[in-house]
Amino acid sequence: MESAILRSVNYNAYFGDNHVCKDVNISIPKNEVVAVMGPSGCGKTTFLRGINRMHELIPNATAKGQIFLNDEDVMEMHPIFVRLKIGMVFQRPNPFPNLSIYDNVIAGYKLNGIKLPKAERDRIVEHSLTRVALWKEVKDSLNKKGSFLSGGQQQRLCIARAVAMEPEVLLFDEPTSALDPISTSTVEELFHELKKNYTLIIVTHNMQQAARVSDRTAFFYMGELVEFDDTKQMFTNPRDVRTQNYITGRFS
Amino acid sequence: MKDIHIKFRIGKSIFFQAFAILLSVSCVIPLVAILLYILDAGFKTIRTNGFQFLTNLPKPVGEAGGGIANALLGSIIIITVASVVAIPFGILCGIYLSENRKSRWAYWSRLCVDILQGVPSIVIGIVAYFWLVKPFGGFSAFSGSMALAIMMLPIVIRSTEETLKLLPDSLREAAYALGMPFHRVILKVIVPCGISGILSGVMLSVARIAGETAPLLFTAFGNPYVSMRLDKPMQSMPLLIFNYATSPYNDWHDLAWGASLVLLVWVLLLNILTKIIARRWKVQF
């Protein structure tokens, strides 16, 4: 693909002797929403966590292969630089409970010891919170602790925290599975907004969600990348029989 | 027939409940009795000697107006030095144990900490005597501090470890995903979130060693005068209580009671402070 921002070449991931990602080759174009779906235990979350080198934080976890971010191999880079360029949002909202809403948004700078002038900080906080459609709701309570927000608001706060670092790619690990339907739709609307500036990779259990929000979909099965195609194409006319079986609900 | 059966059951239940209440009330009796007795005896000392006994030096037998200033000051110095040594070590070790739960080295050091907690205080005193007192040729406050520091370590380590273990992994992941290096994750996220538990452990360990006598017997040794030198013998509260209470003089018995009251209030205050800190600085998830 001509404008691939992220490209993996023969990526393999292991937990001890357990081979969870098998020779994954994928090219993800810039400014698109890519959904990664597949049954439980198919390696999709492991692949996602491999992209920003979070995988190796787990004891016994190892990885082989290459992942290129703009032609730079993230496996060769220091994980800290990788994670500054590739943001991540988790399954459960995890704002820092000891920090205020304001400090949570700016956490990537504040906790990394990056000093910014007050005006710049204010601008980043307002900008990031506006991006995730949270500014209006919290602008009068920026000094309250982030953990007082509702689940959906907390998740948007976590997205704002990732967005504040101006990464190139944003990874979402089942970002709505702990949220109620209304919060889920708010977050899904955000994806359309965010893809103007970032490339989004979203792991999801929910096929409808994949169909709703993504431009392209990747289907993982038993650690393999079975199919990666245009979302419409994939849901209407899958090439692989395993994809077809999964989409039609023969197994899950 | 059935009615009687149910009534019998109800009766049994009431009897059982009453028994449980009775026993739990009787558990409180020893503590309350000790408290009341020391309060009574201690306040009698304060009435006869005034509060000056806190700031006066001990006087020879028979002379009125003796005090415990040397012991109070000594205890504060010895405990401060012990804390300065034990708290950083303890917290760092606790962090290591909670961050590396499964490594072999963590397993062994955790085992050692557990065993250390069970070592009798007199044994720690003897060890300090052979390692610090004998080689340096004399009793010293410093050797007493070291003995107490060893006693503090396991309490601080285990409370730090247990507190940090309870923090959810998602917190660490959130921090790592922002590109934070290990030391910043620990210092800026993990420790601030667990600070109430860590401080509680520190307070409790200070309260615990405040009353330790055995390790000080042959290290700090005791001193009838005010001494600020760490390389010389120094008086401390538990030692003073021990010496005065076993003496044959009534004045000294009174001072021992007064000192007991001071020690008790000290420990009580530390415990209350711990509770306040734990509540005030608790991080809500």
pLDDT digits (tens, 9 = 90+) for B201-222: 999 999 989 988 899 988 888 8
Picking from B257, B238, B213, B266, the residue whose alpha carbon sits closest to that of residue B53 is B257
User: Is A16 near chain B, with CB under 8 Å?
Assistant: no
pLDDT tens digits for range B17-61:
999 999 999 999 998 999 999 999 988 888 887 888 888 888 877
Judge: A113–B184 Cβ closer than 8 Å, yes or no: yes
List CB contacts of B129: < 8 A, sequence separation 6 or more: B143, B218, B219
**What is the length of chain B?**
285
Does residue A1 carry a pLDDT above 50? Answer: no
Minimum-distance CB partner of B284 among A81, A97, A112? A97
Measured distance CA(B132)–CA(B260) in Å, rounded: 29
So what's the pLDDT on residue B51?
80
Mean pLDDT (chain B, rounded): 90
Q: Which residues of B touch A161 (CB under 8 A)?
A: 174, 178
Q: Name the token pair of B19.
A: 């028994």
Query: What is the rounded distance in angstroms from the CA atom of residue B93 to the CA atom of residue B110?
Result: 9
CB atoms within 10 A of CB A211: 18
B168 to chain A, any CB pair closer than 8 A? The answer is yes
| A239 neighbors A227 (Cβ within 8 angstroms) | yes
Q: What's the gap in Å between the CA of A113 and the closest CA on chain B?
A: 9
Give the H/E segment covering residue A138. Answer: helix A135-138
pLDDT by residue (tens digit) across A191-222? 988 888 899 999 998 888 899 999 999 999 99
Read off the pLDDT band of A251 (50, 70, 90).
low
State how far the Cα of B285 lies from the Cα of A77, in Å rounded to an integer.
34
Q: Check if A119 contacts B (Cβ < 8 Å).
A: no
Q: What percent of the residues of chain B are helix, what percent strand, and what percent coil, each to the nearest 5?
A: 80, 0, 20
Residue with tokens 């120094």: B234
∠ Cα B129 B134 B138 (to 5°): 95
Contacting A residues, span 120-179, partner chain B, CB-CB under 8 Å: 145, 147-148, 158, 161-162, 165
| From the candidate CATH numbers 3.90.850.10, 3.40.50.300, 3.30.465.10, 1.10.3720.10, the one assigned to the domain spanning A4-96+168-247 | 3.40.50.300
Contacts of B174 in chain A (CB under 8 A): 90, 94-96, 158, 161
SS3 call for A112: coil
| B239 and A CB contact within 8 Å | no
Residue B176: band (very low, low, confident or very high) from pLDDT cuts 50, 70, 90: very high
Is B171 near chain A, with CB under 8 Å?
yes
Stretch among A63-67, A89-93, B249-253 having the lowest mean pLDDT: B249-253
Q: What pLDDT sits at residue A119?
A: 92
* Partner-chain contact B193 A96, CB within 8 Å: yes
Report the Cα B274 to chain-centroid distance in Å. 11
Say whether residue A84 is in contact with chain B using an 8 A CB cutoff. yes
User: Which pLDDT does position A252 carry in this prediction?
Assistant: 55
Closest by Cβ to B284, choosing from A87, A145, A165: A145
Query: Is there a contact between B180 and A59 if contact means CB atoms under 8 Å apart?
Result: no
- Residue A145 with chain B: CB contacts under 8 Å: 284
The dihedral of CA B188, B193, B199, B205: what is its sign? Answer: negative
User: Per-residue pLDDT for B250 more than 90?
Assistant: no
Q: What's the CA gap between B237 and B220, in Å, rounded?
A: 11
Q: Is A59 on the interface with B (CB under 8 A)?
A: yes
Q: Which residues of B touch A78 (CB under 8 A)?
A: none
Q: Do B189 and A96 touch (CB under 8 A)?
A: yes
Q: How far apart are CA B119 and CA B212, in angstroms?
A: 13
Question: 């711990």: which residue's tokens?
Answer: B274
- Sequence-distant (6+) residues with CB within 8 A of B280 are B196
Cross-strand pairs, A221: A224
Confidence grade of residue A172 (pLDDT, cut at 50, 70, 90)? very high
- Comparing alpha-carbon positions, the chain A residue that sits nearest to B102 is A59
Chain mean pLDDT for chain A: 89
CA gap B277, B206 in Å, rounded = 15
Please indicate whether, in this complex, the C-beta atoms of B285 and A97 are within 8 angstroms of each other.
Answer: yes
Q: Is the pLDDT of residue A177 over 50?
A: yes
DSSP designation for B57: P
What single-letter amino acid sits at A171?
L
Chain A interface disruption, residue of B100, B178, B187, most A CBs within 10 A: B178
Q: Say yes or no: A77 contacts chain B, CB-CB below 8 A.
A: no
Nearest neighbour of B177 by CB, restricted to A54, A97, A148? A54
Residue B9 has pLDDT above 50, yes or no: yes
Q: Report whether A166 contacts A108 (CB < 8 A).
A: no
Give residue-wise pLDDT tens across range A67-102: 999 888 988 889 898 999 999 999 989 999 888 999
With tokens 């990031």, the residue in question is A128
- The 10s digit of each residue's pLDDT in B109-138 is 999 999 999 999 999 999 999 999 999 888
> Hey, is the C-beta of B181 within 8 angstroms of any chain A C-beta?
yes
pLDDT of B284 higher than 80: no
Q: For residue B61, count other CB atoms closer than 10 A to its CB.
A: 12
| Cβ-based contacts of B168 with chain A (< 8 Å) | 94
Residue B273 C-alpha, separation from nearest chain A C-alpha, in angstroms: 21
| CB-CB contact of B218 with B140 (8 Å) | no
Amino acid of residue B69:
A
Residue A79 burial class via C-beta count within 10 angstroms: exposed 0-12, middle 13-18, buried 19 and up = middle
CB contact under 8 A, A54 and B180: no
Q: Does B124 touch chain A (CB under 8 A)?
A: no
Choose the mutation target among A77, A84, A96, A110 for the interface with B, i.e. most B CBs under 10 Å.
A96
Q: Is the pLDDT of residue B103 over 90?
A: no
Chain B nearest-CA distance from A97, in A, is 6
Tell me the shortest Cα–Cα distance from B125 to chain A, in angstroms: 40
Residue B93 has pLDDT above 90, yes or no: yes
Closest chain B CA to residue A166: B178
Residue in chain B nearest A160 by alpha carbon = B178
Residue B147 neighbours by CB under 8 Å, 6+ apart: B124, B125, B127, B128, B215, B216, B219
